[in-house]
């Protein structure tokens, strides 16, 4: 059985709460002690501002209260007697003995001390979701990488996770694709690169159609035959016309085949690919149900859900569930989709990893869902954009706007070139493996190390650098930890008890123990960058330790302790990177 670990942070919180309860002070309602990692590590490892918060409520001197509490607190087995700093912070310094024990426990635990979720949930994660025949743009890239990371972490914490790729495989773009397909599809090009050919067709028709509409506006012509033809094709498709259905089906199939190559490169899998079209049959009855319940009403020929009195949901912008032409769109499909997730998959939570521009859509969807009578926890995990190195659109070497496939290929190529230069004596296969791990890892890490809401610049130089907060830097730190074990003659055995004598050993052990705090914290506000910066700190702590403390030349328990620190660092780096979908290799 796994030992059920409690982090130092939680333990300290409990001890501080006990001391407060025993202090005889009257605590305000709902007063909660919080402990945080120390802002300034010169004063300790953790701190609490509880005395300051309480002093304010009790109208007493915060420093005096902090001193009183620090004296009374029983932190035996965890920390040295707490000290008081500044206006009334109470600081804790974890003892080497407690850290040594924790190190032993971590190594005995396959989850490295990370506590399982207190209440495991069924969580549906909706991510990636590109659109057939449309460009897979940077928003989809960000969604894919962030969504996969969140899924991995939620699973690691013991939740039941269902990943669903809600492909945009139904929609008005098919009017143009069908028209273009019939006018001049290049079969050869379709076989060679389906996503590109469908996109070409779509773009060509779109451009011609737009040109005609412009000409009408300019008074140069009176009709828009292309737009009309596209509409007619779409109506035929929606009515189930066999020829159009067959073309549509082929478009979807070839697109999925093309997408699966991308997901393969990214090491990303989905449990389901229930695209928009999957819900078609449900839409008429769903709309009738909402109308009958009085949730939707007609407005200017369309059937809408309104959000009267809720300006943040767009007082004036209703959720259109049946258009004037009788068709259904994105809103209706999303209602059917969430119903499926709640009723069939029993979702307690549904997370949508979709760009920030869709936040109004999701606020409206969530509100409509609740009024309809379903109450899962619903979260829109939004994110910003990626900019090219020039701060504008991203471009490839050849100067075209990027397709994801080319981008990932280029990442591997560039990584391979770096590896080639650093370590020419590796075998061809090793180099290919490392090129993949480093190239794809670099792209993912660049994404995950940013706060998801900030726009960031895409930079090959930066992401492939071996110095700095990058995937290669962390992968290289892992390789260094493995190098120690390769040099070991004899079996890799390092039984406790451990002794942490040097400050760099203590600091590394403390940093290792914090993995258990950081992994769950990522899900609090969906911030993979917390894990990234943690791993970066860990790699730095390891390098300082490794410079200060010889491992193989040490003896006895000093050597065992140092090997244990190396092994734990190695496992935390590997596990942490894997939680971001990033591979490690034994050499580089």
How many residues does this entry show for the chain? Answer: 588
553's tokens: 């030349």
Question: Is residue 275 within the footprint of ligand ARG (CB under 6 A)?
Answer: no
Question: Is residue 379 within the footprint of ligand ARG (CB under 6 A)?
Answer: no
Question: Is residue 169 within the footprint of ligand ARG (CB under 6 A)?
Answer: no
Question: Is residue 282 within the footprint of ligand ARG (CB under 6 A)?
Answer: no
Question: Is residue 363 within the footprint of ligand ARG (CB under 6 A)?
Answer: no
Nearer CB in complex with ligand ARG: 248/352: 352
Strands 160-164 and 122-126, sheet pairing:
parallel
Figure out which of the listed residues 169, 197, 233, 334 binds ligand ARG, where binding follows CB under 6 A. Answer: 334
Question: Is residue 262 within the footprint of ligand ARG (CB under 6 A)?
Answer: no
Question: Is residue 368 within the footprint of ligand ARG (CB under 6 A)?
Answer: no
Binding mask 216-255 for ligand ARG (x = CB under 6 A): ----------------------------------------
Question: Is residue 148 within the footprint of ligand ARG (CB under 6 A)?
Answer: no
**Closest by CA position to 376, among listed 347, 337, 354:** 347
312's tokens: 């943040």
Contact 102, 509 (CB under 8 A): yes
Nearer CB in complex with ligand ARG: 126/567: 126
Binding residues for ligand ARG, total number by CB under 6 A: 9
Contact 539, 477 (CB under 8 A): yes
Figure out which of the listed residues 7, 48, 91, 131 binds ligand ARG, where binding follows CB under 6 A. Answer: 131
Q: Which residues contact 15 (CB under 8 A, 6 or more apart)?
A: 73, 74, 75, 78
Residues 339-358 interacting with ligand ARG (rule: CB under 6 A): 352, 354
Closest contact distance (angstroms) between CB of 124 and ligand ARG is 10
- 261/264 Cα distance (integer angstroms): 5
Total Cβ atoms within 10 A of residue 184? 10
* 103, 233, 247, 281, 444 from 240: Cα distances, Å: 63, 11, 11, 12, 41
What one-character-per-residue DSSP string does 113-135 give? TPPPPSS--EEEEE----BTTS-
- 89/55 Cα distance (integer angstroms): 12
- 540/125 Cα distance (integer angstroms): 33
Closest contact distance (angstroms) between CB of 299 and ligand ARG is 23
- 199/332 Cα distance (integer angstroms): 26
Nearer CB in complex with ligand ARG: 168/376: 168
Figure out which of the listed residues 7, 49, 144, 337 binds ligand ARG, where binding follows CB under 6 A. Answer: 337
Closest contact distance (angstroms) between CB of 112 and ligand ARG is 33
- 21/351 Cα distance (integer angstroms): 38
Closest contact distance (angstroms) between CB of 159 and ligand ARG is 20
Question: Is residue 364 within the footprint of ligand ARG (CB under 6 A)?
Answer: no
**Could you check whether the bond before residue 516 is cis, i.e. omega within 30 degrees of 0?**
no
Nearer CB in complex with ligand ARG: 92/328: 328
Residues 87-126 interacting with ligand ARG (rule: CB under 6 A): 126
Closest contact distance (angstroms) between CB of 134 and ligand ARG is 7
Question: Is residue 286 within the footprint of ligand ARG (CB under 6 A)?
Answer: no
Site residues for ligand ARG per CB under 6 A: 126, 129, 131, 166, 168, 334, 337, 352, 354
């Amino acid at each position: 059985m796994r030992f059920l670990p409690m982090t130092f942070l939680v333990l300290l919180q409990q001890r501080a709460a006990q001391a407060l309860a025993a202090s005889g002070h009257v605590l305000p309602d709902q007063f909660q002690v919080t402990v945080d990692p120390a802002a300034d590590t010169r004063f300790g490892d953790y701190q609490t501002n509880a005395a300051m918060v309480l002093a304010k409520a009790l109208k007493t001197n915060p420093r005096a209260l902090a001193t009183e509490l620090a004296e009374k607190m029983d932190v035996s087995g965890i920390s040295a007697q707490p000290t008081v700093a500044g206006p009334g912070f109470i600081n804790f310094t974890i003892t080497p003995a407690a850290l040594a024990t924790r190190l032993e426990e971590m190594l005995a635990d396959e989850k490295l001390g990370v506590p399982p979720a207190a209440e495991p949930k069924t969580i549906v994660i909706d991510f990636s979701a590109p659109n057939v025949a449309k460009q897979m743009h940077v928003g989809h890239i960000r969604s894919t990488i962030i969504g996969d990371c969140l899924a991995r972490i939620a699973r690691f914490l013991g939740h039941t996770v269902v990943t669903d790729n809600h492909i945009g495989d139904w929609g008005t773009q098919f009017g143009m694709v069908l028209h273009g397909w019939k006018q001049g599809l290049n079969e050869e090009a379709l076989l060679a690169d389906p996503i590109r050919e469908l996109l070409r067709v779509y773009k060509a028709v779109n451009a011609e159609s737009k040109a005609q509409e412009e000409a009408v506006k300019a008074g140069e012509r009176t009709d828009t035959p292309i737009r009309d033809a596209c509409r007619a094709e779409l109506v035929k498709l929606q009515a189930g016309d066999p020829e159009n259905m067959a073309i549509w089906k082929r478009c979807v199939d070839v697109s999925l085949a093309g997408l699966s190559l991308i997901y393969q490169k990214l090491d990303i899998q989905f449990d389901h690919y229930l695209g928009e079209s999957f819900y078609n049959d449900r839409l008429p009855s769903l709309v009738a149900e909402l109308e009958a319940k009085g949730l939707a009403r007609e407005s200017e020929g369309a059937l809408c859900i309104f959000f009267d009195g809720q300006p943040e949901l767009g007082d004036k912008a209703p959720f259109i569930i049946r258009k004037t032409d009788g068709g259904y769109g994105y809103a209706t499909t999303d209602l059917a989709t969430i119903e499926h997730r709640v009723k069939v998959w029993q979702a307690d939570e549904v997370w949508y990893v979709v760009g920030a521009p869709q936040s109004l859509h999701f606020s409206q969807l969530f509100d409509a869902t609740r009024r309809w009578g379903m109450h899962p926890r619903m979260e829109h995990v939004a994110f910003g954009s990626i900019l090219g190195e020039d701060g504008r659109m991203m471009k490839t070497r050849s100067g075209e706007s990027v397709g994801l496939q080319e981008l990932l290929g280029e990442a591997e190529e560039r990584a391979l070139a770096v590896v080639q230069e650093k370590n020419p004596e590796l075998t061809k296969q090793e180099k290919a493996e490392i090129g993949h791990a480093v190239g794809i890892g670099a792209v993912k890490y660049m994404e995950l190390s940013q706060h998801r809401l900030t726009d960031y610049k895409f930079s090959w130089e930066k992401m492939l650098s071996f110095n700095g907060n990058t995937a290669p830097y962390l992968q290289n730190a892992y390789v260094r930890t493995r190098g120690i074990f390769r040099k070991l003659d004899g079996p890799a055995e390092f039984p406790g008890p451990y002794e942490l004598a040097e400050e760099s050993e203590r600091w590394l052990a403390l940093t290792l123990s914090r993995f258990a705090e950081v992994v769950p914290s990522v899900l609090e506000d969906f911030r993979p960058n917390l894990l990234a910066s943690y791993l970066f700190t860990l790699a730095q702590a390891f390098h300082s330790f490794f410079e200060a403390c010889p491992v193989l030349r040490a003896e006895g328990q000093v050597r065992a302790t140092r090997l244990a620190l190396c092994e734990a660092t190695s496992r935390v780096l590997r596990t942490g990177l894997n939680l971001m979908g990033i591979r490690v290799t034994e050499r580089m």
